[in-house]
């Protein structure tokens, strides 16, 4: 991941509404959530939430999929993985033992 791509993703997540929506989508993988479900969970109006969603989609963190008449939003797990690797790639100047707690914590995700 290039620095500009990483910064774009971090910037998109640097808002409470967008971070909450993205985390909700990550928890909903692999099925995703409808845009309406995300709007309802946010407590915002459709138009206000749509602007937040557009930023997440623009940063490639969210992938919209049309299913019938609904738009289903899904977290782009590949970009999440790439962002996490970008942030931790040079962890602790190559001393893997210092990153072991991080790796151990992430291993409980599955």
CATH of the domain at 8: 1.10.10.10
Q: How many domains, the chain?
A: 1
- Give the whole-number percent of the chain exceeding pLDDT 90: 74
* Cα end-to-end distance, the chain, whole Å: 24
Mean pLDDT of the chain: 92
pTM of the model as a whole: 0.88
Three-state SS for 43?
coil
Q: Which residues pair with 73 in a beta bridge?
A: 33, 64
pLDDT in tens, 3-26: 999 999 999 999 999 999 999 999
- Which distant-in-sequence residues (6+ apart) come within 8 Å of 66 by Cβ? 72
The secondary element (H helix, E strand) that includes residue 64 is: strand 62-67
Range of the structural domain that residue 104 is part of: 3-108
Predicted local distance difference test score (pLDDT) of residue 110:
55
């Amino acid at each position: 991941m290039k620095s500009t791509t990483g910064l774009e993703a971090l910037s998109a997540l640097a808002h409470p509404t967008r971070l909450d929506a993205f985390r909700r989508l990550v928890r909903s993988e692999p099925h995703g959530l409808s845009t309406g479900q995300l709007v309802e969970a946010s407590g915002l109006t459709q138009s206000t939430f749509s602007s937040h969603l557009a930023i997440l989609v623009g940063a490639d963190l969210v992938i919209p999929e049309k299913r019938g008449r609904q738009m289903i939003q899904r977290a782009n797990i590949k970009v999440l993985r790439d962002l996490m690797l970008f942030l931790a790639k040079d962890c602790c100047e190559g001393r893997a033992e210092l990153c072991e707690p991080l790796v151990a914590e992430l291993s409980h995700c599955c």
